[in-house]
Amino acid sequence: MNIAFFLTPKADVAWVPATCTVRQAIERMENHSYTAVPVLTPEGGYDSTLTEGDILWFMKQHPVVRFWDTERVLLAEVTRRMVLQPVNIDAEIEALLSLAIDQNFVPVVDGRGAFIGIVRRRSVLVFYRDRMSAALRSGD
């Protein structure tokens, strides 16, 4: 079993560029109903993960910034409160499982550090639930 089995490819993932504005990030998250999105460098590498909480804390710390002002605030000004670690596509499955314990999704990078997609914790849990159920039915 390898990480590619669980991969949701970049083309199917909502992400934001590190160079975008806070407003653009909010709009992307709202349009996809996500509470967190990967942030990518201009070169296509994984930079960080932006969460709704990051935006809320930013707004709390900058009370003069109103929602309509966020179109002039660069995403780089928002502190990331959680550091979600990526996993290399060639890593052992145990590395993915260790990260998935604490992260809703795990960003996946290739050998050059380019972002190639995510693994959702849900897909890992569903796979192992189904495997466990099958083992119980067969008496293993």
Mean pLDDT of the chain: 93
User: Tokens 């910034």 map to which residue?
Assistant: 65
Cα dihedral 77, 47, 98, 135, rounded to 10, equals: 120
The DSSP letter of residue 12 is G
| pLDDT tens by residue, 22-76 | 999 999 999 999 999 999 999 999 999 999 999 999 999 999 999 999 999 999 9
| pLDDT tens by residue, 5-19 | 999 999 999 999 999
Query: Which pTM does this prediction carry?
Result: 0.88
Whether 140 has a pLDDT exceeding 70, the answer reads: no
Distance CA(105)–CA(121), nearest Å, equals: 5
| pLDDT for position 86 | 95
Q: Is 113 left (phi over 0), alpha (psi -120 to 50) or beta?
A: left
| pLDDT tens by residue, 91-139 | 999 999 999 998 899 999 999 999 999 999 999 888 888 888 888 888 7
